[in-house]
A and B are shown apart, each in its own frame.
Chain A
Amino acid sequence: MPVYTGETFDARTTRSETLPDLGSDEGHREPFHFISSPGSWECIDLLELATLHSQQAGIELAEAQRDLDIDPDVRWEWVPRLKKFHHTPGVNGVSARAGGLARALGEYRGAGWTIIEPDQGPGGTSYIRRLQTRRGTRYVDAWTSYVPVGIGRMAPRFDDVGWLQWRRELVREGIVQAPPPEVLEGATDLVSREIGRLESRSHLPHIQTKIELLMQKLAGMRAGRFPVASSTRPTRSKRAKA
């Protein structure tokens, strides 16, 4: 004879006042897919990424670079920008009918977007996190957490290293394909224009410093490097096969 026992219930967890209040503009009522447009890429500074990681982990820069699988000779790398496609009925073609979300995502896929499934998140886990808050359930990405900052206020804390590393991994594993060179030219052109705009004020020391940084970035962008799979470090798909 089966014996039915209920799960452990803690009444405190159901009291709304014990739940965090993220405020009106943090988190989202609906879950989401990350999507990538072939026309939206950005060039990131790997040195800055490794420096941040070494500071956070309290390790040497070289160790941080090894940890993140960064070639010390490569400073700039192209990664995709990602957008959240919220599962909100009524938005961008999502119908409330059964299959409405799949149809809308299909339209985006047909237009050339890459749809990244939630289970392709960091370490093979979902990239969506669900939070119970005073205003109801909220969905955030895996790299966003919240910390209390004063009475009744919460501030987001973001894992920049994890986020950038995951976007690199998406390219390494071929989930997001590298774009045609024309896309990179468009983004590079914007940096060239910014340098041109700043040059009229290059006599100011802080502007000169900014121009030098942009020149470095421009050279890095023109080098056109993308994250590549390490020969020594297995990617997630290789790990799964093993």
Chain B
Amino acid sequence: MTAILQSNLETDLRLASSLAANLRVLLADQASLRTSGVVTFLGSVNGALTDTLSERFAGLDGYDAFAAASSEASDESSTALTDASASVAVARMVIRRDISDLAVLTGNGAINPRRLAASMVGEYEQGWMQLLADAIDDAATDVGSSGVDMSVSDFFDAIYQLELSSVPTPLTALLHPRQIADLTESLRAEGGAIQYMPATQAMLEAKGQGLAGELLGVSIFKSSKVNSAGGNRHGAMMGAGAVGYRIGVVEEVIGSQVIRADEFIVEFQRDSSASTTEIVGSSYLGIGIIEQARIVGIVTDA
């Protein structure tokens, strides 16, 4: 009797190894603060006659206060108006994928032009987060010590700094996973009524993926995009209005099939002679610190 064995069927009827039908996504940081409300949306440069707009600041509504007059009939001097500005320039952000017809037709539908276009939602968010991380590492004041792990004391220091500048709450911290790990370790040794509240489902729904939790009333977001310099990670704590972003909305695209997403577009361009489809995601985006007094850097060991 000759049994039909898998080993006998190879390689005409069975394969020693094949590819699974399902497609898994590689581990990557997918957190984004774009819709969290932490970063102020400044509008678009469409029709602005420039790619760079300066945010204008004026010391009004209580920046200066009434003061006692020198005397009943004194001729008081004028109070100067304090002003400031910060530029936000938008620049082109792009990602392009090319896929051949043969690559599509031999596949099982897991990777095709539509799937690649859908993937650009996440790719845009991560490009946005990289710009945010690049922006916040230029905070003018910092807490923490070079080469020393982040601790609860650094977290307190950041709150003190923002309180000294009268930054209104709520406050938000954007930290590297290493900083959060060190902060959590430091919390283990804390005494007293300090409670770290990990993100719950409800909090995630309200503030989006990337929220790690809350500590001392400060929302903590985690992103691997937080930059390193000098062997340290440069996270930050900020109030609303510290950082702003501006976009440019692509208009009048003629000649290709376009999907218009929230702040970017995806175009499909057909290269018939090469039997290839190009999928191009484009946006115009600029992020910057617009008021340094509202942000403090948290610089701790990488």
Chain A residues in the interface with B (C-beta under 8 A):
24-26, 28, 30, 34-35, 37, 39-40, 42, 44, 81-86, 88-97, 100, 103-104, 107-108, 111, 113, 141, 143-144, 156, 158, 160, 163-164, 186, 190, 193-194, 197, 200-201
Bound-state Cα–Cα, A88 to B289, Å: 14
Q: A37-B141, A160-B147 are in contact. Are A93 and B87 (CB under 8 A)?
A: yes
Q: A83-B234, A92-B289, A190-B143 are in contact. Are A158 and B91 (CB under 8 A)?
A: no
In the assembled complex, which residues on chain B have CB atoms less than 8 Å from the CB atom of A190? 143, 157, 160-161
User: When the two chains form the complex, which single residue of A83, A90, A104, A156 contacts B93, counting CB atoms closer than 8 Å?
Assistant: A90
- How many A-B residue pairs have C-beta atoms within 8 angstroms? Tell me: 137
User: When the two chains form the complex, which single residue of A94, A113, A141, A160 contacts B91, counting CB atoms closer than 8 Å?
Assistant: A94
Residue of B nearest to A97 (CB): B51
User: When the two chains form the complex, which single residue of B160, B228, B289 contacts A26, counting CB atoms closer than 8 Å?
Assistant: B228
| 6 A-B pairs whose Cβ atoms sit less than 8 Å apart in the complex | A40-B297, A83-B234, A111-B140, A186-B141, A190-B160, A194-B157
Q: Contact: A24 with B224, CB < 8 Å?
A: yes
In the assembled complex, which residues on chain B have CB atoms less than 8 Å from the CB atom of A156? 228, 231, 302
User: When the two chains form the complex, which single residue of A37, A39, A90, A144 contacts B287, counting CB atoms closer than 8 Å?
Assistant: A90
In the assembled complex, which residues on chain B have CB atoms less than 8 Å from the CB atom of A194? 153, 156-157
Chain B residues in the interface with A (C-beta under 8 A):
28-29, 51-52, 86-93, 130-131, 134-135, 137-143, 145-147, 153, 156-157, 160-161, 176, 191-192, 224-231, 234, 285-289, 292, 297, 299, 302
A95 to chain B, nearest CB (A): 4
Q: Contact: B131 with A90, CB < 8 Å?
A: yes
Q: Contact: A81 with B157, CB < 8 Å?
A: no
User: When the two chains form the complex, which single residue of A25, A89, A96, A100 contacts B225, counting CB atoms closer than 8 Å?
Assistant: A25
Bound-state Cα–Cα, A156 to B299, Å: 17
In the assembled complex, which residues on chain A have CB atoms less than 8 Å from the CB atom of B90? 90
- Beyond A37-B140, A90-B90, A90-B286, 6 additional pairs, beta carbon < 8 A: A42-B142, A84-B229, A91-B131, A111-B292, A156-B231, A194-B153
Q: Contact: A93 with B134, CB < 8 Å?
A: no
Which 5 residue pairs across A and B have the least CB separation, nearest first? A89-B91, A90-B91, A93-B87, A158-B231, A95-B89
Residue of B nearest to A85 (CB): B138
Q: Contact: B140 with A39, CB < 8 Å?
A: yes
Bound-state Cα–Cα, A14 to B263, Å: 36
In the assembled complex, which residues on chain A have CB atoms less than 8 Å from the CB atom of B143? 190
Bound-state Cα–Cα, A164 to B286, Å: 33
Residue of B nearest to A41 (CB): B142
Bound-state Cα–Cα, A156 to B153, Å: 26
Bound-state Cα–Cα, A186 to B88, Å: 30
Q: Contact: A94 with B89, CB < 8 Å?
A: yes
User: When the two chains form the complex, which single residue of B161, B176, B227, B285 contacts A90, counting CB atoms closer than 8 Å?
Assistant: B285
In the assembled complex, which residues on chain B have CB atoms less than 8 Å from the CB atom of A193? 156-157, 160
